[in-house]
Amino acid sequence: MDLISDHRQIMDWYEQYKATSSIEVKRLMLENIIRTLSVHSNIEEMYCYPLLAKKVPNGKTYQERSIKEHQPIKDLLYELDMNIDSLQMGSGEVMSDKRVDISWFDSTLARCINFKLEHVKEEETEVFPLMRQYCTADELQQLHTDLEAGRKVAPHRPHPSAPAHAPFNKLVGAPTKLLDTARDFLSGRSNENL
C-alpha cells in the first residue's frame, strides 16, 4: 500500500527536521509533513476506512478507533499550520523583530509524530494485514486506484473540524482543496506536488 510509503516519507522528513538548525529547512520539512499527513489522513478516511468497515470483521470498530486516533494529529497539525508563517522562507532568519520560539515547533511536531507513530504501528501490524486477508485482490487494486485519485482532491492543509466519515468527507474534500490552494497562493507557500 502506498500509505506505508507515506509513513516512511513522513519519518524521513521528521529526521531531517530534527537534524538541522536551519529555520528554512525546518520550515520546508514542516510544510512537507503537514501537507502529506493532511492528505494521507483524508484519503484513509475517504477510502481505506470505509472498505475496512465493510470487509473486515469488527472493521467498524477499527475504523472508528483510527478516526479517533487521527483527531489529535489533525489538531496539532492545525496548530503548526496556523503558526508556520512566523518562520520566514528564503533567508533562514526569523521574520520581523519578534523571535520565534523554535522549541514550540519542535515539541508540537514531536507530539504529533508520537501520536502518528502509535497509529502507524496499529495500521501496519493489525489493520493493513487484516485488509489483505479479507479484501479481494480486485478490492485492494480498486483501493489503490481510489487512494491515488483521492490525493488529487483531498485537502492538503489540516481541517480538524471537517467531517471524517464518507460520504461527507468526500463532498467537502475537493472544494476544501481549492480553498487550501488559494490560501497557499495568497500566503506565498509552495504548491509543488499538489
CATH of the domain at 100: 1.20.120
Total number of residues shown for the chain? 194
- pLDDT at position 98, please? 47
Look at residue 154 and give its three-state secondary structure: coil
Render pLDDT for 131-166 as a digit per residue (tens, 0 to 9): 999 999 999 999 999 999 999 999 999 999 888 888
116 domain-assigned: yes
The answer on pLDDT for 90 being more than 60 is no
Structural domains counted in the chain? 1
Q: At 42, is the pLDDT very low, low, confident or very high (cuts 50, 70, 90)?
A: very high
170 domain-assigned: yes
DSSP string for residues in 48-116? IHHHHHHHSTTHHHHHHHHHHHHHHHHHHHHHHHHHGGGBPTTTSSBSSSSPP-HHHHHHHHHHHHHHH
State phi, psi for 95 to the nearest 5 degrees. -70, 140
- Which residue range forms the structural domain that includes residue 39? 2-187
DSSP summary character for residue 188? T
194 domain-assigned: no
Q: What is the pTM of this model?
A: 0.88
- pLDDT at position 109, please? 98
The answer on pLDDT for 173 being more than 90 is no
- In whole angstroms, what is the distance from residue 36 CA to residue 34 CA? 6
- Grid cell locating 86: 512566523
For 20, 29, 54, 171, the CA distances from 70, given in Å and listed in that order, are 27, 20, 20, 19
24 domain-assigned: yes
192 domain-assigned: no
13 domain-assigned: yes
Render pLDDT for 55-86 as a digit per residue (tens, 0 to 9): 999 999 999 999 999 999 999 999 999 999 88
Check: CB of residue 87 under 8 Å from CB of residue 109.
no
Check: CB of residue 105 under 8 Å from CB of residue 83.
yes
- Grid cell locating 32: 512537507
Q: Can you tell me the mean pLDDT for 26-52? A: 96
Render pLDDT for 100-112 as a digit per residue (tens, 0 to 9): 679 999 999 999 9
- In whole angstroms, what is the distance from residue 100 CA to residue 83 CA? 10
125 domain-assigned: yes
The answer on pLDDT for 4 being more than 60 is yes
23 domain-assigned: yes
